[in-house]
Amino acid sequence: MMDFNNWWEEIAYLQKEMQRFVEHISERRARFAGFGEEAWVPPCDIFETPHHLVVVIELAGVSPQEVEIIVEGKKLIVKGERKELPYSSKEDYYLMEIRFGPFYREIDLPEEIEEVKAKYLNGFLVVEGLRENSRERKIPIT
């Protein structure tokens, strides 16, 4: 451990160590730099129509067979995995923004849904459920 006489020396030391760390990770495969196997969270939109609640989740590059959808009361859970593309050599990245590996998204719905259907369209998972309060119900007068 280094003995610091003033805080400027400490800042310079930390800056040097941070630069060393960045150089270290830039020499490795990008998966290490991309936070390993931690689950990523896909973006989504939620909207309603007069009779349905619709959730659209961006899952470009994910095979529909790799997706699991669970509805529990007012909660929608979507999880799965996006596999890495099969390139022979990916050592020199210039930019890395696409996340690979497991994903997990838990969404609190504004109401319970029934008759849930899911489809995969052009990289988007569309989950549609009949809104509970959209059904016509006859209320007896007592």
92 occurs within a structural domain: yes
CA distances from 9 to 3, 6, 101 (A): 9, 6, 40
The structural domain count of the chain equals 2
Q: What is the pTM of this model?
A: 0.66
Who wins on pLDDT, 141 or 43?
A: 43
Q: Are residues 70 and 3 in the same domain?
A: no
- Pseudo-torsion of CA 67, 73, 74, 76, nearest 10°? 0
Please check whether residue 90 lies inside any domain of the structure: yes
Residues in the chain: 142
Question: Which tokens go with 40?
Answer: 């990523």
Is the pLDDT assigned to residue 69 strictly greater than 90?
A: yes
CA distance linking residue 99 with residue 38, whole number of Å:
10
Query: pLDDT tens digit string along 14-60?
Result: 887 787 777 666 654 333 333 445 789 999 999 999 899 999 999 99
My answer on whether 24 and 49 are in the same domain is no
User: Which residues, other chains included, contact 51 with Cβ-Cβ below 8 Å and sequence gap of 6+?
Assistant: 130, 131, 134
Range of the domain at 66: 37-134
Indicate whether 12 and 78 sit together in one domain: no
The 10s digit of each residue's pLDDT in 96-118 is: 788 889 999 999 999 999 999 99
> Are 27 and 64 in a shared domain?
no
In a domain, residue 114? The reply is yes
